[in-house]
Amino acid sequence: MNSTQVERALAGEITPQIKQLACNENLTQELVRERVAQGRIVLLHNAAHADVVGIGKGLRTKVNASIGTSTDIVDVQDEVSKAQAAQAAGADTLMELSVGGDLDQIRREVLQAVTLPVGNVPLYQAFSEAERKYGDPNRLDEAMLFDLIERQCADGISFMAIHCGINLYTIERLERQGYRYGGLVSKGGASMVAWMRTHGRENPLYEKFDQVVAILKKYDVVLSLGNGLRAGAIGDSFDRAMIQELLINCELAEEGRKMGCQMLVEGPGHVPLDEIEANIILQKRMSNGAPYYMLGPLPTDVGAGYDHITAAIGAAQSARYGADLICYITPAEHLALPNTADVVEGVKAARLAAHIGDLSKYPDRPRSRDLAMSKARRDLDWPGQFQHALFGDDARRIHEERSPQCDSDVCTMCGEFCANRASNAIFERTLKGSAKA
Ligand code: SF4
């Protein structure tokens, strides 16, 4: 059986993936190897393509985009287009989360359509298949579930969000708490809780965690410990049920790593801005530094229609305090299945958030791109501005659509009263002569 990246790193091997990541992120190969061995960096790649994506300590904060059909809207070509649009807009990873249509076919088409590492949530297909086969999702049996996980791994899935941390003790915490403003907002989590209640049994993904790990290890798929009881309302942030699941997931992250599997831990959800730092400290301490995959978070519940902005505010804060992978949110969040335009908006908002977070996460690193942009702005260097902007094509389009009527180096915002032009004329030497970079 092939060894995983963790096992190879522990044996002292600098794998081709470690070499590539060290080069991409300007780190030494030995540092990356050490962090992969410690479980503080995970390596993902789409089996059909050479590029590797690293998530974890000391790396650029990455952005995930999620796409997938619903039970109401099934258009495979549309999902393929969304996947490609997410990649073109700069997503680092993709999650294929379809629940409607031929789920094997959709997964395989999306895997072929992009070079990004693709993740998924096996419980979606597992409960869908039980519903189709028996007319009741609660008739899902363990053999079906584990067979399905292996089938998805064999197709080339790079990381799987698996809800191992929901157990009978977690559910007891939820029940004893006796309230929740947002209820359960995870599809996989809610379905697993229903299954456990129906059968009066432990979650097989928790009970047979070693079996889950063994399957993922066989394909070196990263196990992302799903956040089934995440807060779906800021009023539920840090409630006992959510923290209990996080604690178990952090414990499992360590166990999985000791078994040689690459591990991620997932986080909420809806979290007030002032609680994000504490959430990340808890996860990092309890998991011994496992990479943290934050779903947003959304720091308010009232942003419907603009939740890509709400989430970007939370994501910048979470990246700043140490989140390693940010799941984007689209303007359609809580309202409808996102379309391609929503996907693009969501990816761009999350990329900006990750960049802003990284500026403060790594204060000692040169802020070259921001400084180059500042100078280009000061100097009215429009091509320079389009080159350094994160979304240069959008910036160029807006500038050119509303350009001055006469030939001018300023823009139509201030026109003849352009502050940059005026100050350049007055302070040519003093402002430009003392540049730090
Ligand atoms: S016109 Fe105003 S907004 Fe436009 S470049 Fe000059 S100062 Fe900036």
Q: Do residues 138 and 199 lie in contact, with contact meaning Cβ atoms separated by under 8 Å? A: yes
**159 lies in the same domain as 272:** yes
Last residue within a domain, chosen from 329, 346, 361 = 361
**166 lies in the same domain as 242:** yes
CA distances from 69 to 65, 74, 135, 159 (A): 14, 5, 20, 19
Q: What is the whole-number distance in angstroms between the Cα of residue 11 and the centre of ligand 1?
A: 57
Question: Is the per-residue pLDDT at 46 higher than 80?
Answer: no
Residue numbers of the domain that contains 69 = 55-361
Q: State the alpha helices, DSSP H only, in 90-141.
A: 103-113, 122-134
Average pLDDT over residues 112-138: 95
CA distances from 64 to 120, 173, 294 (A): 11, 31, 10
Output the domain CATH number for residue 250: 3.20.20.540
**313 lies in the same domain as 397:** no
Question: Is the per-residue pLDDT at 437 higher than 50?
Answer: no
* Residue 179 confidence (pLDDT): 86
**236 lies in the same domain as 375:** no
Average pLDDT over residues 149-154: 96
Question: Is the per-residue pLDDT at 403 higher than 80?
Answer: yes
Average pLDDT over residues 109-130: 95
To test the ligand 1 pocket, which listed residue (381, 409, 410, 412) has its Cβ within 8 A of the most ligand atoms? 410
Cβ < 6 A, ligand 1 pocket = 410-411, 413-414, 418-420
| Residue 115: inside a domain | yes
To test the ligand 1 pocket, which listed residue (377, 408, 414, 416) has its Cβ within 8 A of the most ligand atoms? 414
Average pLDDT over residues 346-355: 98
| Residue 37: inside a domain | no
Last residue within a domain, chosen from 308, 342, 361 = 361
To test the ligand 1 pocket, which listed residue (381, 418, 426) has its Cβ within 8 A of the most ligand atoms? 418
Lowest mean pLDDT among 157-161, 195-199, 385-389, 429-433: 429-433
**269 lies in the same domain as 350:** yes
* Residue 430 confidence (pLDDT): 64
Question: Is the per-residue pLDDT at 1 higher than 60?
Answer: no
Average pLDDT over residues 277-298: 96
Question: Is the per-residue pLDDT at 429 higher than 90?
Answer: no
Question: Is the per-residue pLDDT at 72 higher than 90?
Answer: yes
| Residue 13: inside a domain | no
| Residue 10: inside a domain | no
**209 lies in the same domain as 284:** yes
Average pLDDT over residues 354-368: 96
Q: What is the whole-number distance in angstroms between the Cα of residue 397 and the centre of ligand 1?
A: 16
Give phi and psi for 69, each to the nearest 5.
Answer: -75, 165
- Ligand 1 atom with the smallest distance to the CA of 377 is 5
| Residue 166: inside a domain | yes
Question: What length is written for the chain?
Answer: 437
Domain count, the chain: 2
**396 lies in the same domain as 308:** no
Question: Is the per-residue pLDDT at 140 higher than 70?
Answer: yes
Q: What is the whole-number distance in angstroms between the Cα of residue 381 and the centre of ligand 1?
A: 11
**357 lies in the same domain as 386:** no
Q: Write the residue with the smallest CA distance to atom 4 of ligand 1.
A: 411
Last residue within a domain, chosen from 340, 361, 382 = 361
299-327, pLDDT tens digit by residue? 999 999 999 999 999 999 999 999 999 99
* Residue 426 confidence (pLDDT): 85
Q: What is the whole-number distance in angstroms between the Cα of residue 256 and the centre of ligand 1?
A: 54
**239 lies in the same domain as 303:** yes
Average pLDDT over residues 220-247: 95
**287 lies in the same domain as 404:** no
pLDDT level of residue 431 (50, 70, 90 thresholds): low
Interacting residues of 422 by C-beta distance below 8 A, sequence separation 6+: none
* Residue 248 confidence (pLDDT): 97
Average pLDDT over residues 377-387: 96
**178 lies in the same domain as 277:** yes
- Ligand 1 atom with the smallest distance to the CA of 411 is 4
Question: Is the per-residue pLDDT at 435 higher than 70?
Answer: no
| Residue 374: inside a domain | yes
| Residue 175: inside a domain | yes
**333 lies in the same domain as 403:** no
| Residue 12: inside a domain | no
